[in-house]
Amino acid sequence: MKSFNYKTATSTKEAIKLFSGRSAFLAGGMTLLPAIKLRLAAYSDLINIKKIKGLSGIRASSKSLKIGSAITHAAVASSKEVIKSIPSLALLADGIGDPQVRNRGTIGGSIANNDPAADYPAACLALNATIHTNKRKIPADKFFKGMFETDLKKGELIEAIEFEVPEKSSYTKFPNPASRYAIVGVYIAKLKKEIRVAVTGVESCVFRCKKIEKALTDNFSESSIDNINISSNGFNSDIHASAEYRAHIIKVMAKKAVSTC
Ligand SMILES: Cc1cc2nc3c(=O)[nH]c(=O)nc-3n(C[C@H](O)[C@H](O)[C@H](O)COP(=O)(O)OP(=O)(O)OC[C@H]3O[C@@H](n4cnc5c(N)ncnc54)[C@H](O)[C@@H]3O)c2cc1C
């Protein structure tokens, strides 16, 4: 592992001031530290952001749920506010990795990393989330750009993620039995004005499945998914699942999500 300077910020302002061209913000370190250890990434400075109080609140209203970026998956899973306002989000957090990962990994780190098989990006798209950074508010539809790529600029810090509270919602995933990352994950949300369906684990980046959204808008039932043809074109194919298998599992997960909404 290459050497680096380790700094701790106690405010967003300080974190931004400490950031230089070759820095990285350090949240749970669940992805960043292995990447450095494996020499996939190298930084001169790691800036610990977990001591920033402003990044650790959870606020719920009747319309939205705002979660600070440094909140761990375990805290989301056990939060009374999250369980009451968007129970499917608490369940999603509870299904991430293992207890060690859930107690270190953060929601902000997860979406900044934008792993193609991560769970939270699907929640952000389906629940029409807004990503609050130190500079701006980014709609989830514009945030996730590609494999491990987001709309964040260098040195831009995610402060919170604000989810729309749905009328009903559910997330189901077919997990990798070792890591629990999604081989296929489908998040369905019935919002006030629209139905959104987000799929993770299947392409290089999370995406909305417009075909299922349309079918469920016409008729919100499991059977309306039966006749949809999901093309496996461009889908991931690896030792865990072929592209065709993933296409099949999307429908299975979507039906399960509808039935548990
Ligand atoms: C064994 C294992 C199993 C896992 N299983 C799953 C799973 O089932 N599902 C799943 O979704 N995930 C899974 N993960 C990923 C994990 O849940 C973490 O969310 C993820 O690794 C990153 O979060 P972190 O807080 O550790 O971020 P870090 O590793 O600290 O940072 C990751 C990246 O995000 C940047 N960053 C962090 N916070 C911010 C911020 N506030 N603003 C801007 N940039 C920021 C960092 O600079 C870095 O580039 C797994 C990880 C491991 C190691």
C-alpha 106 to ligand 1 mean position (Å) = 6
* CATH 3.30.390.50 boundaries in the chain: 169-259
Predicted local distance difference test score (pLDDT) of residue 1: 59
Phi, psi of 167 (to 5 degrees): -70, -45
C-alpha 210 to ligand 1 mean position (Å) = 28
In angstroms, the first-to-last Cα distance of the chain is: 45
C-alpha 169 to ligand 1 mean position (Å) = 24
Q: What is the mean pLDDT of residues 176-192?
A: 97
Mean pLDDT of the chain: 97
Q: Which CATH class is domain 1-51?
A: alpha beta
Nearest CA to ligand 1 atom 27: 109
The CA-based diameter of the chain, rounded to the nearest angstrom, is 57
Question: Quick one: pLDDT band at residue 69, thresholds 50, 70, 90?
Answer: very high
Q: Answer yes or no: is pLDDT of 2 > 90.
A: no
C-alpha 217 to ligand 1 mean position (Å) = 33
Predicted local distance difference test score (pLDDT) of residue 21: 82
| 23-59 pLDDT, tens digit each | 999 999 999 999 999 999 999 999 999 999 999 999 9
Asked if residue 255 lies in contact with residue 172, where contact means CB atoms within 8 angstroms, the answer is no
How far is residue 244's CA from residue 255's CA, in Å, rounded to a whole number? 17
Q: Answer yes or no: is pLDDT of 184 > 90.
A: yes
Q: What is the mean pLDDT of residues 83-92?
A: 98
The yes or no reply on domain 169-259 and CATH 3.10.20.30 is no
Task: Compute, in degrees rounded to 10, the torsion defined by CA atoms 258, 226, 185, 87.
Answer: 0
* CATH 3.30.43.10 boundaries in the chain: 1-51
Is there an atom of ligand 1 within 6 Å of 129 CB? no
How far is residue 186's CA from residue 18's CA, in Å, rounded to a whole number? 38
Q: What is the mean pLDDT of residues 12-28?
A: 95
- Residue whose tokens read 């060690």: 100
Task: Indicate which atom in ligand 1 lies nearest the CA of residue 106.
Answer: 25
C-alpha 214 to ligand 1 mean position (Å) = 32
Task: Indicate which atom in ligand 1 lies nearest the CA of residue 55.
Answer: 41
